[in-house]
Amino acid sequence: MSHFGRVKNSGSFPSGRRYRLDGKTVAIVHPAWSSCGTYRVIVSQAMAYRALGARVVSIAVMDAPTADAPRGERWRRYIAESGDLPVDKQYLSGPPAYSWTSFSLLKDGWWPLIHGDQASWLVELCKRTPLPNGVGGESIDLVHANHFFTLPLVRRLLRSRRAPVILETHDVQASQFMLRNRDGFFLPPLVRFRDLLAIELEWMEKADYCVHLNRDEHETFARLLPRKGHALIYPAIPAARPSRGGDRILTVASGHFPNFLGIKWLLEEVLPLAPCVPIDIVGDVDVAVQTRDRSLFDAHRELFRGRVPQIESAYERAACVLLPTLEGYGLSIRTAEALSSGAPIIATPLAFRGMDVGAQMLRNVTLAADAPSFAAALRAAHARIEDGVDIPDSSASDTRRFFDTVFGFDAYVDALSEISAKMLTA
């Protein structure tokens, strides 16, 4: 199966020296998402490539037929929420609204989708996404694509170019699709995991190099595609503002289905065992709870704070951060953000999935595997707040030190520099 670009094998690059990208243009291709962990990773990619001297352009792809950018509610929301994306030029595109009337999309995309095949659906949408106006004039030296389903657009972008393609996989998407399928209504016969994975692997083969952001996906894809170059690179997560020993107990969550399950468990099984403990639920998970369980939302309406413009600032008043993670795959960006705040954390063990860390060794982390133990830790945290117990300096906490070591920006820039050298030097 052919690659998009030409990979050049590089010799050893001198350690301690960064390969610079001065005078080169890097195109970051990604879904037009702005309220999830993927967006934070894309921000870090842009910052890192600019730190290496590159000119960086973003090509954001909408994941549903919609009006041409910047018209339409989806685009207006994305543009409003992505103002902090540090790129030199932003291009927007997506499948046209009239795609809904296309027989080929109905046959190749929608029909598989109603049986749970989100992989085929997203690939077919990207096949029908036109190149953004003006992007043809860009001299692109390197493409950093996010998610396998953006690669049909990358293929057309590089039709007359020879730029290599780095693909960031963002977890085993077949596993994510199977999890999301539990939240929808689909017709039998339902798609199988192995069929979703086969589509994912077929497109991954077309990239020149694969980057993975957690240990589990790296091990999986290195085994399934042994001839492909792979690298495990923990993303550089923008650090939250350090906790200043406030009086709030909070949890931060987007509207993804696994997050909904965690918040539902927190509200239904944990809080009844800690009835006098006030918490803040930050993020657009409020919309997900309203949609999926209106009575649950109405019963706890006063706890939801909604989306905030800069999520990193939410942690500043945190006396404690809750990570009620019950399901999900891959690295949790919200866990990394919580670590960066330096605040005490109460978490289920799954919150630390994909990380090479013994969370039980971090002194300001309390692991709680069930509702009674989670509630007990929550009551204890609330008692410390009520008693005015001083919280140790967050900047020197175990979690902040771990964050700086694993998710630090300098290490991330070094890693992308090394991969860029492999792609671009003879």
Residue ranges and CATH numbers for the domains of the chain are: 25-236+408-424 (3.40.50.2000), 248-406 (3.40.50.2000)
Mean pLDDT along residues 343-370: 89
Which pLDDT does position 263 carry in this prediction? Answer: 98
Region label for 58, one of left (φ > 0), alpha (ψ between -120 and 50) or beta (otherwise): beta
What is the C-alpha to C-alpha distance for residues 138 and 359, in angstroms, rounded to an integer? 45
Mean pLDDT along residues 1-30: 67
What is the C-alpha to C-alpha distance for residues 151 and 34, in angstroms, rounded to an integer? 20
Poorest-pLDDT segment among 141-150, 282-291, 309-318? 309-318
Tokens 């989100």 -> residue? 118
Q: Which of the four pLDDT bands, split at 50, 70 and 90, describes residue 14? A: very low
Mean pLDDT along residues 283-288: 95
CB 416 within 8 A of CB 4: no
Q: Kindly report, residue by residue over 50-90, the tens digit of the pLDDT.
A: 999 999 999 999 999 999 999 999 999 999 999 999 999 99
Tokens 């795959």 -> residue? 329
Tokens of residue 285, six digits: 């998970």
Mean pLDDT along residues 234-241: 84
> What average pLDDT does the structure give for the chain?
91
Mean pLDDT along residues 11-22: 70
Which pLDDT does position 421 carry in this prediction? Answer: 96
Residue count of the chain, please give it: 426
DSSP string of 219-233, one letter each residue:
HHHHHH-TTS-EEE-
Q: Which of the four pLDDT bands, split at 50, 70 and 90, describes residue 239? A: confident
From the number of C-beta atoms within 10 Å of its C-beta (0-12, 13-18, 19+), residue 2 rates as exposed
How far, in Å, are 238, 285, 291, 365 from residue 397 at the CA level? 17, 28, 38, 10
**Is pLDDT at 125 greater than 50 in this prediction?**
yes
Name the nearest CA neighbour of 323 among 359, 354, 352: 352
**Is pLDDT at 393 greater than 80 in this prediction?**
no
**Is pLDDT at 43 greater than 70 in this prediction?**
yes
Which pLDDT does position 392 carry in this prediction? Answer: 66
Tokens of residue 189, six digits: 């016969």
Which pLDDT does position 378 carry in this prediction? Answer: 98
Poorest-pLDDT segment among 51-55, 166-170, 244-248? 244-248
Q: Kindly report, residue by residue over 192-214, the tens digit of the pLDDT.
A: 999 999 999 999 999 999 999 99
- List of residues 6+ apart from 401 with CB closer than 8 A: none
- List of residues 6+ apart from 90 with CB closer than 8 A: 57, 58, 60, 82
CB 339 within 8 A of CB 402: yes
Tokens of residue 357, six digits: 């860390």
**Vertex 287 angle, CA 313 and 82, to 5°:** 50
Q: Which of the four pLDDT bands, split at 50, 70 and 90, describes residue 297? A: very high
- List of residues 6+ apart from 219 with CB closer than 8 A: none
**Is pLDDT at 6 greater than 50 in this prediction?**
no
Q: Which of the four pLDDT bands, split at 50, 70 and 90, describes residue 388? A: confident
Residue 370's CB: how many other CB atoms inside 10 A?
A: 10
Which pLDDT does position 9 carry in this prediction? Answer: 37
User: Is 200 in a helix, a strand, or coil?
Assistant: helix
DSSP string of 120-131, one letter each residue:
HHHHHHHHTPPP
Residue type, 196: L
CB 197 within 8 A of CB 221: no
